Amino acid sequence: MSSGLSIRDVSFAYGSRPALTSVSLDVAPGAFCALLGPNGAGKSTLFALLTRLITTPAGQIEIAGHDLRAGPRKALARIGVVFQQPTLDLDLSVRQNLRYFAALQGLSGKQASARIDAALDRLSMRDRDREKIRALNGGHRRRTEIARALIHDPAVLLLDEPTVGLDAASRSAITAHIHDLAAEKALTILWATHLTDEVRPSDRLAILHRGRLIEDGIASDIAGAASLSDRFLTLTEAA
């Protein structure tokens, strides 16, 4: 059974307005795939479909070998998600937020504590675990959300524009952490962004524009002799 992510011919429309049209994408275990697209490209719609916030009869989605339509519980149990909008309880501490999520995943006692400690250590957040979320800066809040998404040991990690509103240093640090996770834990990563500087030349890159995938390959190959930023502008303007 594959622990990767497979999207096949997925389409979705809001009434008469198409948001995604025949999108197909495979991401292998241990791969970091950047889903790059301008605002309104359909990235958040795709994430809503992957997390079953919305559904569509068009196409097929498999998560770690589980068909999302046929076996939604098994599929959803294998993903960790960091949404674009923050979802932490501001009046709880870092550890309390994580313990609450662990309980939702059926984890308690020593097992939950061990998973929480491991996730906090991985994101360099153990020394802040007693601080309330509202006392943290944006970068540390995002690290907490990523730690939370890892507690139940998912096979696939989905991040929908996780660096929105952060300064350049925080964005760089979080992007580096996620690349490390893909390499160290063989996690399948789908990272949605509209910022080309978050994509490394060696990254798998899929460019989404107006609901269609217009490029899929290695970032340096797609950029060619140009900078990725210039190539991205050329592709989206042409499309």
Higher pLDDT, 12 or 185: 12
pLDDT digits (tens, 9 = 90+) for 80-113: 999 888 889 999 999 999 999 999 999 989 999 9
pLDDT > 70: what percent of the chain?
99
Mean pLDDT of the chain: 92
- Interval 146-155 mean pLDDT: 93
Apex CA 170: angle with CA 165 and CA 172, to 5°? 110
- Interval 159-163 mean pLDDT: 92
Paired tokens of 176: 């580096």
pLDDT digits (tens, 9 = 90+) for 189-221: 999 999 999 999 999 999 999 999 999 999 999
Q: What is the pLDDT of residue 1?
A: 42
- Interval 175-193 mean pLDDT: 90
pLDDT digits (tens, 9 = 90+) for 53-88: 999 989 999 999 999 999 999 999 999 999 888 889
Residue 148 has pLDDT above 50, yes or no: yes
Q: Which of 205, 211, 239, 209 is nearest to 223 (CA)?
A: 205
Q: What is the pLDDT of residue 182?
A: 86
d(CA 47, CA 53): 8
d(CA 38, CA 206): 12
Helix axis angle, 94-104 relative to 109-122, nearest 10°? Answer: 130
Q: Where are the alpha helices (DSSP H) in 51-137?
A: 72-76, 94-104, 109-122
> Is the distance from CB of 156 to CB of 135 less than 8 angstroms?
no
Residue 3 has pLDDT above 80, yes or no: no
As beta bridge partners, residue 8 has 60
Higher pLDDT, 184 or 52: 52
Q: Which of 165, 212, 179, 199 is nearest to 45 (CA)?
A: 212
Q: What is the pLDDT of residue 239?
A: 63
Residue 2 has pLDDT above 70, yes or no: no
Residue 139 has pLDDT above 80, yes or no: yes
Give pTM, 2 decimals. 0.91
Paired tokens of 87: 């979802």
Q: Strand pairing of 79-82 and 188-193?
A: unpaired
